[in-house]
């Protein structure tokens, strides 16, 4: 079973973003994959509004990412944390797939998207005190 890292926004509209991340995990499971969504787990033990704890969460997530077979970018917006995850997947040579919100919410089988087909919008700026070394 392929282990896929679910890369989707957390900050901002947290309630809606958590619902979407859960839907993305269900979608991955329906595709026969084992989803990993660290942004559903780590905010339970770390405070995302505290820059030092946010940085710890991102670092732990990047460590988990290293054990995954693929990274799935879910939805159309890219947050700072997601940018860190995408850069690390590229550095490690982990395949990246773009999965549209429509596909996740519609529950259809996966269609692979060329990264050039969709434009991504940055969702948030890095935290002022954040220092990530990849």
- Dump pLDDT digits (tens) for 69-119: 999 999 988 988 899 999 999 999 999 999 999 999 885 554 444 443 444
Burial 44-55 (b: 16+ CB within 10 A, else e): eebebeeeeebb
pLDDT digits (tens, 9 = 90+) for 60-71: 999 999 999 999
Query: With contact defined as beta carbons under 8 Å apart, do 94 and 2 qualify?
Result: no
pLDDT digits (tens, 9 = 90+) for 7-50: 999 988 999 999 999 999 999 999 999 999 999 999 999 998 89
Per-residue CA distances from 7 to 4, 43, 128, 132 (Å): 9, 15, 22, 18
DSSP, collapsed to helix, strand or coil, labels residue 74 as: strand
Q: What is the pLDDT of residue 122?
A: 45
pTM, whole model, 2 decimals? 0.78
């Amino acid at each position: 079973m392929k282990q896929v890292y679910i890369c989707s926004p957390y900050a901002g509209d947290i309630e809606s973003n958590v619902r979407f991340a859960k839907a993305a995990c269900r979608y991955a499971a329906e595709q026969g994959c084992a989803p990993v969504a660290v942004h559903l787990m780590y905010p339970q033990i770390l405070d995302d509004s505290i820059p030092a704890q946010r940085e710890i969460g991102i670092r732990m997530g990047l460590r988990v990412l290293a054990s995954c077979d693929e990274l799935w970018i879910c939805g159309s917006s890219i947050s700072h944390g997601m940018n860190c995850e995408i850069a690390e997947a590229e550095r490690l040579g982990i395949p990246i797939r773009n999965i549209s919100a429509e596909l996740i919410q519609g529950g259809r089988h996966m269609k692979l998207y060329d990264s050039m087909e969709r434009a991504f919008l940055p969702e948030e700026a890095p935290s002022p005190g954040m220092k990530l070394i990849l």
